[in-house]
Chain A
Amino acid sequence: DAGVIQSPRHEVTEMGQEVTLRCKPISGHDYLFWYRQTMMRGLELLIYFNNNVPIDDSGMPEDRFSAKMPNASFSTLKIQPSEPRDSAVYFCASRFGRQGFDEPQHFGDGTRLSIL
């Protein structure tokens, strides 16, 4: 069974550069979530989509962050321009939203982002 696939696994770039993180959700899942993990704040929700439509982006820290889901099998999280404080592990998760049933989210292995 293919799980949630994230790429790249590691990204090191210089401040000011554009960064694009990619996620392929589990086939058939209609919810997709982006989270960020830092030492200070732990795991926090950035944005999530339902049927490719952004539902809640209140966790996106600044306008430098943007996320898209052009189709059911692909999503991107973009940071432009990047800053050192954006260094973190970024996780993507997906979930099957069955009406009346509680379904867990399944996570990818994350992208470790370092901004120098």
Chain B
Amino acid sequence: DQQVKQNSPSLSVQEGRISILNCDYTNSMFDYFLWYKKYPAEGPTFLISISSIKDKNEDGRFTVFLNKSAKHLSLHIVPSQPGDSAVYFCAASDLRGGADGLTFGKGTHLIIQP
């Protein structure tokens, strides 16, 4: 059973436009959510996170939104740039419950078209 789901394996967006990546989760104990970006032959790189006590967190061009009632989070990238082309992973953990390991979605391959 997949506790973290990214239903879009790939997404193509024009340069300069907004990219919206979505993630759904089923475990209501998750209280910390992260987005990672991954280039080929490299490890995942931390992008942005959000605690369950918040519903929005911004860092430059990146904003993460959390809707706890819907068990849904999204990552907005605006404006999208060619260097944003990568695989994006959504991840979650139950830190307050002492489960520090991350549960990952399968990833969304974002392609920024020039």
- A67-75, A78-86, A100-108: which lies at the interface: A100-108
Per-residue interface assignment for chain A, residues 75 to 116, with 1 indicating a CB less than 8 Å from any chain B CB and 0 otherwise: 000000000000000010101010000101111111000000
Given contact pairs A43-B104, A45-B103, A56-B99, A102 touches B49 in the complex (Cβ within 8 A):
yes
| Nearest A residue to B43, CB-CB | A107
Q: Which of A4, A95, A102 contacts B43 (CB 8 A)?
A: A4
CB distance B102 to A45 under 8 Å? yes
Size bracket, chain A contacts: 20 to 34
Residues of B within 8 A of A (CB-CB), count: 22
CB distance A109 to B42 under 8 Å? yes
- Is B44 an interface position by the 8 A CB rule? yes
Query: Contacts of B51 on A, CB cut-off 8 Å?
Result: 102
Chain A at the B interface: SS class: strand
A109 to B103, CA, bound (A): 19
Given contact pairs A59-B101, A102-B32, A109 touches B41 in the complex (Cβ within 8 A):
yes
CB distance A55 to B100 under 8 Å? yes
Query: Contacts of B49 on A, CB cut-off 8 Å?
Result: 102, 104
| Pairs across A and B, CB under 8 Å, 9 listed | A35-B102, A43-B102, A56-B100, A59-B101, A91-B43, A91-B44, A102-B32, A105-B102, A108-B43
A56-B100, A102-B49 provided; 7 other pairs, C-beta below 8 A?
Answer: A31-B100, A33-B101, A45-B101, A56-B101, A95-B100, A104-B49, A105-B102
